[in-house]
Amino acid sequence: MTITQAEENYLKAIFKISEKSDKPALTNAISAVMQTTAASVTDMLKRLAEKDLISYEKYKGVQLTEEGNRLATALIRKHRLWEVFLTEKLGFAWDEVHELAEQLEHVQGNDLVGRLDAFLGHPKFDPHGDPIPDADGRWAYRKQSPLATLQAGDHGVVTGVEDHSSAFLQYLDQLGLGLGAGIELIERFPYDQSVRIRTSDNREMVLSEKVSQNLYIKTG
């Protein structure tokens, strides 16, 4: 029972949709993530159901089976480990690694992932702050909240992003707000929900509501 790259990518898409709501993933949602037509998705869903990687009821959406979940998790693990490699070892910026990891995640070979993981020192989080599941598919949990939910006086550290776009990541770089940056919320302006913050290196700046919704902070 061999699995193609396209099939792997669909499994990952379904996984990511299912993360946000435990309802079945719908055809249109999948087609949006995969940038294909709904007709192509239906084609693929039949194949994945045939291989018992999803449970599929016509018109009702799909859910990953045990096996489908296992494969999707393994793929995400590979993707994120490669992203760590590309940033830590090859010196790519955090906004440059996703497309490369999309290709590298499909490379298969005996113990490649395990060796890569060891070489990188068993990282628990990728360059975007996303958790890397371990070899058994277990996820590290870390309590973090959008900056948008913090109160004046709260302080913490940047631990992740919701928006993974290059535009957002580069903007954060420009502001000096990469992962690990220390932040204190000074005030929130009721007019537009923008916030004034102070960084640990004592710079003050104002961030839009949009930024504050896309930036995750671990408080305390």
Partner DNA sequence: AAATATTTTTAGGTTTGTCTAAAAATATTT
Partner DNA sequence: AAATATTTTTAGACAAACCTAAAAATATTT
Residues that bind DNA (CB under 7 A): 4-7, 10, 26-29, 34-47, 56, 58-59, 61
Give 13 or 148: the residue with its C-beta nearer to DNA.
13
CA–centroid distance for 211 within its chain? 17
Yes or no: say if 130 and 81 are a contact pair by the CB < 8 Å rule: no
Range in contact with a second copy (rule: CB under 8 A) among 25-33, 73-81, 94-102, 154-162: 94-102
Q: How many residues bind Mn ion (CB under 5 A)?
A: 5
Instruction: Compute the distance between CA of residue 26 and CA of residue 29 in angstroms, rounded to an integer.
Output: 5
Range in contact with a second copy (rule: CB under 8 A) among 61-69, 93-101, 145-153, 160-168: 93-101
40 binds, among DNA, Mn ion, a second copy, none (CB under 5 to 8 A by kind): DNA
Does 4 interact with a second copy (rule: CB under 8 A)? no
Task: Candidates 75, 128, 181, 195: give the one binding Mn ion (CB under 5 A).
Answer: 128
How would DSSP label each residue in 90-121?
T---TTTSHHHHHHHTT---TTHHHHHHHHTT
Instruction: Provide, rounded to whole angstroms, the least separation between the CB of residue 95 and a second copy.
Output: 12
Give 44 or 185: the residue with its C-beta nearer to DNA.
44
Instruction: Compute the distance between CA of residue 219 and CA of residue 93 in angstroms, rounded to an integer.
Output: 26
Instruction: Provide, rounded to whole angstroms, the least separation between the CB of residue 2 and a second copy.
Output: 14
Crossing angle of helices 5-20 and 27-34, in 10° steps, is 120
Which residues in the chain belong to E strands, given as ranges?
A: 54-57, 61-64, 145-146, 155-161, 182-189, 194-199, 204-207, 215-219
Task: Candidates 46, 60, 115, 203: give the one binding a second copy (CB under 8 A).
Answer: 115
91 binds, among a second copy, DNA, Mn ion, none (CB under 5 to 8 A by kind): a second copy
Yes or no: say if 68 and 75 are a contact pair by the CB < 8 Å rule: no
Buried b (16+ CB within 10 A) or exposed e, 193-207: ebbebebeeeeeeeb
Task: Candidates 37, 46, 57, 112: give the one binding a second copy (CB under 8 A).
Answer: 112
Q: Which residues bind a second copy (CB under 8 A)?
A: 89-92, 96, 99-100, 103-104, 106-110, 112, 115-116, 119
Q: Which residues bind Mn ion (CB under 5 A)?
A: 83, 98, 126, 128, 130
